[in-house]
Structure 1
Amino acid sequence: MHRALAGALAVLILATGRADADPVPKRKPGLWEITTVAAGTGQTTVKACIGEDDDIATPSGVGDCSKPTAKRTGDTTIVNVVCTKPYGKETMSTAFTGDFSKRYHGILKITFDPPEGVKNMGVIIDGKYLGADCEGAQKP
């Protein structure tokens, strides 16, 4: 389960840019406060420095991942990514809303095949822009 949470957090913080039909949302570069809530881990808040090449959807270092596909409907963008790992695959689907320059909200569902103790995991994500200065935060 810890690998799954690490993968979910990587989706939020450490990623590179790609897109398909509709563009994947991009956060404004700078310092962001990102709060996640997930069963089993509770609430976690981190400060992360987001760079120009931000891609909020593709996890870094958690396996071989597909190019994200994005579909915008109204003010919601659904982004899907599939990552293949030695023990199986993770399918991540996130519904994003917000302006991505001041705030955003996401609801992430991860499906494991084969299941890693659980078949599905959900994470609620809230991001708040704190400013352009990234001093003391994780680098992109």
Structure 2
Amino acid sequence: MSSRCRWLLAVSLLGLAGTALAQDIPANMPKRKPGLWEMQTSGMGGQPQTTKICLDADTDTAMYKMGTHMSGQMCSTFKIDVQGNKVLTDAVCKINAPSGTVNMSSHSETTYQGDTAYSTQGNIKYDPAVMGHSEMAMTSSGHWVGQCAAGQKPGDMLMPNGQTFNIKDMPGH
């Protein structure tokens, strides 16, 4: 996947997930089980991308705070509606792309299967189009794998390219 496609995928994921993090964690938000999670994301007709992350309650909170910081700077509108095991999100954001400012609107629905799995279906619209895409369907799913591996600490994320970093070390945390 080219770096331009990775950029578009990252912006799209922000549309699906980051905007859902743009406010305090709703009290009735489903919780994820601590341990090692594997997450797959696909869109743009490319191969699914798989990441793994070691989570605990503090790491989930840190991810929400990071999303709050990023979304608060870019999104003028966001709405989170938790309905039992479903989380519906809608957002309108302005993103600084390599080609200039892009208006992005997104809608996603995440369904949790207890505290060990979730799946997200989303649609993102871009104006103007980004790399020829004015609309994109995205999917994301995650499931609990087990305990974090020996030597892993909460926040350690293994990217599809094999690179590992800790999300708590990222700016905005």
Q: What TM-score range do you get, normalising by the shorter chain?
A: 0.7 to 0.9
Q: Shift of the alpha carbon at 1:124?
A: 1.1
Contact 1:19 1:69 in 2 (8 A): no
1:60-116 per-position Cα deviation (integer Å, ceiling 9, x unaligned): 758613464112446432112222123122112110101462000000211101121
In terms of fraction of residues, the more helix-rich structure is 2
SS at structure 2 position matched to 1:114: strand
Whose radius of gyration is greater, 1 or 2? 2
5+ residue gaps, structure 1: none
For 2:51, the equivalent position in structure 1 comes to 46
Verify: 1:89 aligned to 2:93, yes or no.
no
Percent identical among aligned pairs is: 23
TM-score relative to the length of structure 1:
0.73
Counterpart AA for 2:39: I
For 2:8, the equivalent position in structure 1 comes to 4
1:18-73 per-position Cα deviation (integer Å, ceiling 9, x unaligned): 25988555534442100112233221111123413133xx4875861346411244
TM-score relative to the length of structure 2:
0.61
5+ residue gaps, structure 2: 158-165, 168-173
Counterpart AA for 1:120: E
Distance 1:36 1:20, change over 3 A: closer
**1:1-140 alignment, distance < 5 Å:** 2=5, 3-10=7-14, 12=17, 18-19=23-24, 25-50=30-55, 51-53=59-61, 54-55=63-64, 58=67, 64-66=74-76, 68-73=78-83, 75-86=85-96, 87-99=101-113, 101-116=115-130, 117-133=132-148, 135=152, 137-138=156-157, 139-140=166-167
SS at structure 1 position matched to 2:11: helix
Task: Please tell me the root mean square deviation across aligned C-alpha atoms, in Å.
Answer: 3.4
> Runs (4+) of structure 1 moved beyond 4 Å?
10-13, 19-26, 58-63
SS at structure 2 position matched to 1:84: strand
Contact 1:32 1:128 in 2 (8 A): yes
Distance in 2 (alpha carbons) for counterparts of 1:69 and 1:60: 16
Contact 2:90 2:107 in 1 (8 A): yes
Counterpart AA for 1:112: Y
Contact 2:81 2:88 in 1 (8 A): yes
Distance in 1 (alpha carbons) for counterparts of 2:77 and 2:35: 25
Contact 1:22 1:70 in 2 (8 A): no
